[in-house]
Amino acid sequence: MAQLNVDRITKRFGGITAVDDVSLTVRDGEFITVLGPSGSGKSTLLSCIAGITNPDLGIVQFGDRVVFSHSTSISVPPEYRNVGFVFQSYALWPHMTVEQNVGYPLRSRRVSRPIVRERVSKMLEIVRLGGFQKRRPHTLSGGEQQRVALARALIMEPSVLLLDEPLSNLDRKLREEMQVELRRIQRTLGPTTIHVTHDQGEAMAISDRIAVMKAGRIVQFGTPEEVYRTPKNEFVAGFVGTSNLISGTVINEGNRSWITGHGGFRVPVVRVPPPSTETINTYIVRPEDIEILHTPVSSKHNPGTANDSELAYAVVTRRSFNGSFMIYEIDTGWAVLRAVTHSDRGFRLGDRVRFRLLAASPLQNE
Ligand SMILES: Nc1ncnc2c1ncn2[C@@H]1O[C@H](COP(=O)(O)OP(=O)(O)OP(=O)(O)O)[C@@H](O)[C@H]1O
């Protein structure tokens, strides 16, 4: 197992800079996801780590071992890097059985048959495909094929596991099951893992940390909570989850805070970092951090809840139910905000409601 260091790598294709001066340190045994829109350079970054593509600049290091260095002309071929790779298309050999597919990397290194059989059998148990040895890929479900591909990538006990959208061909339910399985298997065997996806929900569910990529660069690298709660800029805020953006200035009065802005609006906010300057910022407010209430609530009668002066007004302009929560759109007169609640509080279209923000986080727009 190894810590992975990517130091200032750049990869250009003609006039396109697919990976632009990217540095990344992944801890030993960590599972990170590279998340970004199509064309942001995720697969190219993975190929550079695997050794399938050589960067134009930079260094790639597995533990103490330099596997690529532009300046000293080191380029270890993929088969000597001790990496496992799983692609979106499982790329199983259709004419081979499950046992032959999974055992292939061992056989090509001339490991004896009984040992191959034993190691394949152990690996199939780990991916919960015990007894599937003699089956052929076309007789397996998508999720089962995916496990075979994973078993094949892990049979050589790689120190680094690279996963390029491995779950994107599966339907939603299977995909969610496989996310849990993938993490379980990765924890069991412990390779340092880099997973690529453009699905933010999957990245949040599965990763220790997420590197958000845009136009060849990593714009933020942090835990799912950090990336969700304190996105660095508008791109990350919009890409990871749904967000409301409010432009204004925070004012504090005693232990209460408000965001005020253009046209004189004033909206109470419970948790907001102290303003570093008096200038206007863009604040991100997640839908679950908007609390909507029917009627003025007196703090005298309901200790612990907001009182009148701690609320603002809006009109409900949209409501929809998604199975586990209600989604509302409320028009405040100065913005249309999106809010979610777990229970149906019974707000109807056209209702005049009161609301407050439970949390807001300033964006660091460059
Ligand atoms: N072999 C290549 N030749 C020329 N351009 C390439 C090549 N590989 C990638 N690119 C370009 O580099 C950029 C990054 O591509 P890459 O496949 O790394 O993005 P990605 O984030 O993985 O996208 P997707 O999510 O669609 O797979 C794109 O503009 C792509 O067209």
Q: Taking 80 as the threshold, does the pLDDT of residue 296 lie above it?
A: no
Tell whether 230 and 270 lie within a shared domain.
Answer: no
pLDDT of residue 253: 83
Tell whether 44 and 99 lie within a shared domain.
Answer: yes
Tell whether 222 and 260 lie within a shared domain.
Answer: no
CATH number of the CATH domain containing 337: 2.40.50.140
Q: Measured between alpha carbons, how far is 166 from 242 in angstroms, rounded to an integer?
A: 25
Tell whether 113 and 209 lie within a shared domain.
Answer: yes
Tell whether 231 and 339 lie within a shared domain.
Answer: no
Tell whether 149 and 269 lie within a shared domain.
Answer: no
Average pLDDT over residues 294-323: 67
Of the candidates 101, 113, 114, 206, the residue with the CA atom closest to the CA atom of residue 155: 101
Average pLDDT over residues 209-214: 97
Q: Cα of 319 to ligand 1 centre, how many Å?
A: 39
Q: Measured between alpha carbons, how far is 119 from 270 in angstroms, rounded to an integer?
A: 56
Tell whether 154 and 47 lie within a shared domain.
Answer: yes
Nearest residue (CA) to ligand 1, atom 30: 39
Q: Taking 80 as the threshold, does the pLDDT of residue 308 lie above it?
A: no
Predicted confidence band at 299 (pLDDT cuts at 50, 70, 90)? very low
Query: Range of 303's domain?
Result: 244-362
Q: Measured between alpha carbons, how far is 312 from 58 in angstroms, rounded to an integer?
A: 53
Instruction: Identify which has the larger pLDDT, 122 or 253.
Output: 122
pLDDT of residue 365: 59
Tell whether 335 and 226 lie within a shared domain.
Answer: no
Tell whether 189 and 289 lie within a shared domain.
Answer: no
Ligand 1 proximal residues by C-beta, below 6 Å: 13, 16, 18, 36, 38-44, 198
Tell whether 148 and 183 lie within a shared domain.
Answer: yes
Instruction: Name the pTM for this structure.
Output: 0.87
| Ligand 1 atom index nearest CA of 216 | 14
Of the candidates 90, 197, 205, 96, the residue with the CA atom closest to the CA atom of residue 143: 90
Q: Percentage of the chain with pLDDT > 70?
A: 93
| Ligand 1 atom index nearest CA of 40 | 21
Tell whether 207 and 248 lie within a shared domain.
Answer: no
Q: Cα of 204 to ligand 1 centre, how many Å?
A: 23
The residue among 215, 236, 257 that closes a domain is 236
List CB contacts of 267: < 8 A, sequence separation 6 or more: 246, 248, 258, 259, 260, 312, 332, 355, 356, 357
CATH number of the CATH domain containing 19: 3.40.50.300
Number of domains in the chain: 2
pLDDT digits (tens, 9 = 90+) for 227-237: 998 899 989 99
The residue among 185, 201, 236 that closes a domain is 236
pLDDT of residue 309: 58
Torsion of CA 63, 155, 191, 125, to 10 degrees: -160
CB 155 within 8 A of CB 102: yes
Q: Cα of 39 to ligand 1 centre, how many Å?
A: 5
The residue among 236, 264, 284 that closes a domain is 236
Tell whether 74 and 136 lie within a shared domain.
Answer: yes
